[in-house]
């Protein structure tokens, strides 16, 4: 399987490197970055995530790519987080085509507020529908995570209700998740880094 990588005006969505492991672990140990996840991650958990993303890249040709900033108002950086397309590791409790593919992202705090997730997400969605031939892409998060939902909306994904995450036990705060979707036959409008959509 060809390992695809993507490029935008400011970003490289690339394969993971061993040099990404330390900054990725530091990001996953940041309580503010992980505020809307069940917990922060240990170095072992973080490394296992990179291994899973790399294996996913080998198997499917796409993944949650490592994000490298080539140019921005804050300069360049070899690693600032990830964004990409992955198949969920749980059985989704909602209707979906096969394969079920999620678009997701996580950025280190110094790189918030620059529109990087929107820029990379637009490229990932174009790849998903125009090159990978995926029928649909979903995204989800907990309801209080307004920042991520704003990115989903800027990307043109459409709200489709709430589901109970199957890995959460009854009553856990992170159990309810909002679901967003974009379909290949009704794709989102292209979006630039400022969040403006173009028809």
Each residue's pLDDT expressed in tens, for the chain with a length of 199 residues:
899 999 999 999 999 999 999 999 999 999 999 999 999 999 999 999 999 999 999 999 999 999 999 999 999 999 999 999 999 999 999 999 999 999 999 999 999 999 999 999 999 999 999 999 999 999 999 999 999 999 999 999 999 999 999 999 999 999 999 999 999 988 666 555 444 333 3
pLDDT at 199: 30
Asked whether 139 and 104 are in contact (CB, 8 A), the reply is yes
Residue 173, in any domain of the structure:
yes
Instruction: Please indicate, yes or no, whether the overall pTM of this predicted structure exceeds 0.75.
Output: yes
Task: Name the token pair of 151.
Answer: 């990115």
pLDDT at 195: 41
Q: How far apart are CA 45 and CA 39, in angstroms?
A: 11
Residue 195, in any domain of the structure:
no
Residue 1, in any domain of the structure:
no
Helix, strand, or coil here: 89? coil
Residue 197, in any domain of the structure:
no
Look at the chain and report how many structural domains it folds into. Answer: 1
pLDDT at 190: 56
Residue 192, in any domain of the structure:
no
pLDDT at 196: 39
Residue 45, in any domain of the structure:
yes
pLDDT at 191: 54
CATH number at residue 144: 3.40.630.30
The owner of tokens 């060809």 is 2
pLDDT at 193: 46
Nearest to 40 by CA among 48, 32, 49, 31: 31
Q: How far apart are CA 20 and CA 67, in angstroms?
A: 10
Residue 190, in any domain of the structure:
no
Residue 137: which domain range? Answer: 6-183
């Amino acid at each position: 399987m060809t390992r695809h990588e993507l490029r935008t005006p400011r970003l490289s969505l690339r394969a993971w490197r061993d040099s990404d492991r330390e900054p990725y672990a530091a990001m996953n140990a940041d309580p503010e970055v992980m505020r809307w996840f069940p917990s922060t991650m240990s170095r072992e958990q973080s490394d296992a995530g990179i291994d899973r993303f790399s294996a996913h890249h080998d198997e499917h040709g796409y993944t949650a790519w490592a994000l490298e900033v080539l140019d921005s108002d804050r300069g360049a950086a070899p690693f600032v987080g990830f964004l990409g397309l992955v198949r969920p590791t749980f059985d989704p409790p909602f209707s979906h085509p096969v394969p079920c593919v999620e678009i997701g992202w996580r950025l280190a705090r110094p790189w918030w507020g620059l529109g990087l997730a929107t820029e990379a997400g637009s490229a990932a969605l174009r790849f998903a529908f125009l090159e990978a031939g995926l029928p649909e892409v979903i995204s989800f998060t907990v309801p209080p995570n307004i920042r991520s939902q704003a990115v989903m909306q800027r990307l043109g994904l459409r709200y489709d209700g709430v589901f109970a995450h199957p890995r959460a036990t009854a009553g856990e705060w992170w159990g309810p998740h909002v679901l967003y979707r974009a379909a290949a036959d009704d794709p989102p409008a292209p979006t630039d880094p400022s969040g403006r959509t173009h028809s």
